Amino acid sequence: MDQSHGRIYTFHFIMLCLSNALFSASYNMMLPDLPAYLSSMGGEQYKGYILALFTLMAGLSRPFSGKLTDTVGRVPVMIFGSVICVICSLLYPLVSTVAAFLLLRFFHGFSTGFKPTGTAAYVADIVPNTRRAEAMGMVGLFSTIGMALGPAIGGYVTSIWDIHVMFQLSAVFALLSVVILVGGMKETLPNKQSFRLSTLRISKSEIFEPLVLAPVIVTFITYYSYGVLFTIIPDFSAYVGLPPASKGLFYTFFTASSISIRLLAGKVSDRYGRLPVLKIATVIMAVGVFTLGVAHSPAMMLTAAVIYGVSVGLNSPAVTAWTIDLGRPEHKGRALASMYIAQEAGIGIGAYLSAFVYHNDSRFFPLTFYSTAIVTLAATVYLIFIYQNRRMQTVKQFVFSPGKWFQR
């Protein structure tokens, strides 16, 4: 597809953004109510599995979504992810046991294992390289809008009617995302292949793209905190005194601040580079999580939400653009899948370990947040002291031993 004239805001790009917002709202509207829903079945001790199982399946499916994105096409992969969301949303009201619920959450992870991979590759195809992070920021902005509106809409619908109506509305949002993809998106993959079962055979080299190891490491560390917060915040909101109807307020403040910074962050990343933005983002992220550790009021908690949202708004477009920068053009899907595997692994491990540390005991809130802040700072340490040093060593090897490089 034409990337000339530096244009971003084409019809296909706008439709993709809208589809992303609907898809994001569909599965995020469940998050505030799922812990209580699982507890009503007698599965209170399994709260950490709500995100962990979802992200586990998303991570396991990434090598397949990456390969299919690079062979069958971007649009079919996006459609498949959205359709899974429709089906799973309609099945939630039918489950009545803890085991069935956890199994459904596991399979629901297929949706985010496919849709974002196809979306990011599609964006990389249709926008100029010099505005890549800006475009990723805009797509992420619409996803974040969905993330904000979803919990707010879901909480409102559940309080007025019941959780089953909320599940049905989630299916409607996902279905609208599919309609946009089917009716308004033109495939961008050149020489795409027809789907065959043999396409699902994944070799070792197709699981991970080694060229994008650095953004993979940063993604894993930073999304650990995401898994922690989205597991603990519903209970923490009640702890600091927010009423049940306002338990989605953290997500609203987090999303609003993330939205406010994304476009500027993408432009800054395109102009000054990915690393400076990521170093700043990881420090701000650690500060946001630490602030939650000292929060004892709704005002402090929402302040932390704003700080954390700014960090995510800085981090997400930069690390996604960095991944595409480093990967091979013909393997965009594989590179992005590698990054998203790290994302899901970080979220899943963060969700599981935070539930283990917190252990449904409010006395452990500070410990949970402080330890998460320390983990987050590891990304800053990596970018400044490890990745930067390796780059300098590579430059020195090229300057002082050029023969070795020309022999490769």
pLDDT of residue 6: 64
| Coil vs helix vs strand at 407 | coil
- Return the structure tokens found at 143: 């996803």
Confidence of residue 391 (pLDDT cuts 50, 70, 90): low
Instruction: Kindly tell me the number of DSSP H helices and DSSP E strands found in the chain.
Output: 15, 0
Residue 400's pLDDT band (boundaries 50, 70, 90)?
Answer: very low
408 band by pLDDT with thresholds 50, 70 and 90:
very low
Cβ-proximal residues to 188 (8 Å cutoff; 6+ apart), any chain? 1, 74, 122, 125, 126
d(CA 176, CA 174): 5
Lowest mean pLDDT among 83-97, 236-250, 306-320, 383-397: 383-397
Q: What is the pLDDT of residues 314-345, one digit of tens each?
A: 999 999 999 999 988 888 889 998 998 898 88
For residue 28 the two structure tokens come to 């995020």
- Residue 205 pLDDT greater than 60, yes or no: yes
C-alpha distances in Å from residue 61, one per residue of 66, 120, 317, 349: 9, 16, 22, 17
Q: What is the pLDDT of residues 136-164, one digit of tens each?
A: 888 988 988 887 788 888 888 998 998 99
Confidence class of residue 403 from pLDDT cuts 50, 70 and 90?
Answer: very low
Residue 166 pLDDT class (50, 70, 90 cuts): very high
> Which residue did the predictor score with more confidence, 83 or 39?
83
> pLDDT: is 46 or 215 the higher one?
215
Q: What are phi and psi of 246, to 5 degrees?
A: -110, 20
Please tell me the predicted confidence (pLDDT) of residue 133. Answer: 87
Instruction: Dump pLDDT digits (tens) for 14-34.
Output: 999 999 999 999 999 988 788
Rg of the chain on CA atoms, in Å = 21
The whole-angstrom separation of Cα 284 and Cα 144 is: 18
Give residue 389's pLDDT band: very low, low, confident or very high (50, 70, 90): low
**pLDDT confidence bin for 225, thresholds 50/70/90:** very high
- Pairwise CA distance, residues 71 & 337, whole Å: 14
